[in-house]
Amino acid sequence: MKKHLRFILKGLIIFIAVFLAVWKISSSKSFQFFGGITHRVDTDERVVALTFDDGPTEKTEEILALLERLEVKGTFFLTGRELERNMEEAKKIVSAGHELGNHTFAHKRMVFRTPSFMRREIDLTDALIREAGYEGEIHFRPPYAKKLFLLPYILKKKNKKTIMWDLEPDSDLSVSAEEIVNDVVENVSKR
């Protein structure tokens, strides 16, 4: 009986260790099991690719005005849910010449889900991005960086690139704009 218990305990510890390892891998910015994943690109110039996630919202216009003033283009990874609510904002992003990307429909972690759920999340959002008038290639960014086997496999089948990031300033509402700027400026130069 005791031996039995020790065996079960050992099994449990191994299970937890494997689970934690897999969970960590599932959030990796630079590795996935299938298809291309990009978290940074080496260039000769010192440039930064700006990406904005989770919109469009009623704040989108403010960002667009700022980008226009600074003559900067960015990539907006939008959710289908927000696209449905704020289609006019999405159209403005397109007409301003920015890139649109797919950030799923409902912004759920795309692990431990069925293939049909994942496909629906991607396809619905792609359709809404097209409805906004965007004609370019639609890349994909997984919510919370989460992906394991199935999502990368489905994306590969759909010829979609996974675009991650290598610098993520804390954009919590309690953080001031100045703190965000300082965080970015300090860290971007180190990479």
Task: Enumerate the H helices of 71-176 as residue ranges.
Answer: 80-85, 87-95, 115-131, 150-157
Determine whether 91 is exposed, middle or buried from the number of CB atoms within 10 Å of its CB (0-12, 13-18, 19+): middle
Give the three-class secondary structure for 168.
Answer: coil
Q: Does 168 bind Zn ion (CB under 5 A)?
A: no
Instruction: Tell me whether residue 153 or residue 165 sits nearer to Zn ion (CB atom).
Output: 165
The DSSP annotation for 98-111 comes to -EEEE--SS----S
Number of residues forming the site for Zn ion (CB under 5 A):
3
Instruction: Tell me whether residue 53 or residue 123 sits nearer to Zn ion (CB atom).
Output: 53
Site string for Zn ion, 104-143 (x = CB under 5 A): ---------------------------------------x
First vs last Cα of the chain: how many Å apart?
56
Instruction: Tell me whether residue 53 or residue 166 sits nearer to Zn ion (CB atom).
Output: 53
Q: How far apart are CA 24 and CA 147, in angstroms?
A: 10
- The nearest distance, CB 12 to Zn ion, in angstroms, is 33
Site string for Zn ion, 40-79 (x = CB under 5 A): -------------xx-------------------------
Residue nearest to Zn ion (CB): 53
Q: Which residues bind Zn ion (CB under 5 A)?
A: 53-54, 143
